[in-house]
Structure 1
Amino acid sequence: MHLPLNHRLRPQWRFLAGLCGAYLLVFGIVGAVRSAGEPFFSRADTDALGLKTNPAFAWLSIIVGAVVLGGAFIGRNVDHWINMIGGAVFLLAGLFMLLLMQTPANKLNFEVATTVVSFIIGTILLIAGMYGKVGTPAEAIAEEVLRHSTRPGDKFAVKPHANK
């Protein structure tokens, strides 16, 4: 698998991942305040920033938002791994909660809008993780050479020709 090192758009993707972390943190805080006093896995109509929530989902959002935001501030390859893993988790969570939405197993009070937001955040974090890998300048040059090199026997390889 090829992940670019020191990609030129890395700061922009890191910023977007930080915005996702900040959104999760604010959503969690607003959700915790609005759902205070409810049962932990309540299925009530409490909403925060337009999405249904309960105390369990609110506190989970606070924790995950703080981790993602912290990774964006730390940088280096810490954010790369947090974003890669977090993006995959958000995509899988959105898929599973979409599957479990109309069942009693919907403990986080998800609805269709919540799964859409989960898919969007998961996609942003996954892409930010893919473009967030950092290496030394020498490693980046070696990676670029490897990426543009051809293998022997490759029928689409450009063959050098001798000047006549």
Structure 2
Amino acid sequence: MKLHDEVPADHRLSQVYRVGAGLCGAALLVFGCLGLADGLPFFSTDGEEIAGLSGNGLLSLVSIVVAAVLVAGAVMGGNSASTVNIAVGTLFVLSGFVNLMVLDSSANILAFRLQNVLFSFVMGLVIATFGMYGRVSGKLPLDNPYWRHRHPQSADPSTASPAPAPDGRRRGAALPGRPV
């Protein structure tokens, strides 16, 4: 799929992807920097509280790396930012499930607590939603580049016929006895 040729750099979808990646990346960067500045032990499984979340040096470092990936996606913009957002959001949600399984065990190397798991779920959904905005929906507008890519036979939105109504009639068709 070569949509990078079809989505102009100033397209509003590209701006949503950039803003989402940039804001979420900035939040993670702040959390990671606060953890490193506080001198948290690197491999502690107990963790210390930073900005309402439990953390250790390893979690701070991972947060900074993920923030760098999100900021790089924001700089690239377009479909790259969207794809980065979807991938990172999915990894956050998966991380939440994995860390939920290892809570209160010696395998909890990132010093997660329940609030960290909830943060992973929420942040993952927010990041993924930014990435999926305008890409994944049942009702994309006809001028949307993703809709046009999925419907090449109707590449020109002005010639595309409207979808049929649930009762089988074409949308906009007159009912018997009623003008259009």
Q: RMSD of aligned C-alpha atoms?
A: 3.4
With over 3 angstroms needed to count, the CA separation of the structure-2 counterparts of 1:46 and 1:141, relative to structure 1, is closer
Secondary structure of the residue aligned to 2:168 is: coil
Secondary structure of the residue aligned to 2:66 is: helix
With over 3 angstroms needed to count, the CA separation of the structure-2 counterparts of 1:68 and 1:158, relative to structure 1, is same
Instruction: Name the structure, 1 or 2, with higher relative contact order (CA <8 Å, separation 6+).
Output: 1
Deviation at 1:22, TM superposition (A): 0.5
CA distance in 1, matches of 2:161, 2:106: 52
With over 3 angstroms needed to count, the CA separation of the structure-2 counterparts of 1:148 and 1:92, relative to structure 1, is farther
Deviation at 1:111, TM superposition (A): 0.6
Q: Deviations over 1:42-76 (max 9, x none)?
A: 12342221211111111000000111122112202
Counterpart selection for 2:168 from 142, 152, 156: 156
**Count of aligned pairs between the two proteins:** 153
**Does 2:23 align with 1:11?**
no
Identity %: 32
Secondary structure of the residue aligned to 1:47 is: strand
Unmatched segments (≥5 aa) in structure 1: none
With over 3 angstroms needed to count, the CA separation of the structure-2 counterparts of 1:138 and 1:96, relative to structure 1, is closer
Counterpart selection for 1:26 from 16, 25, 30: 30
CA distance in 2, matches of 1:148, 1:102: 58
Give the conservation status (yes or no) of the 8 Å contact 2:47–2:112: no
The equivalent residue for 2:148 is 142
What is the TM-score normalised by the length of structure 1? 0.75
What is the TM-score normalised by the length of structure 2? 0.69
CA distance in 2, matches of 1:76, 1:10: 4
The equivalent residue for 1:106 is 108
Secondary structure of the residue aligned to 1:77 is: helix
Give the conservation status (yes or no) of the 8 Å contact 2:17–2:74: no
CA distance in 2, matches of 1:141, 1:95: 33
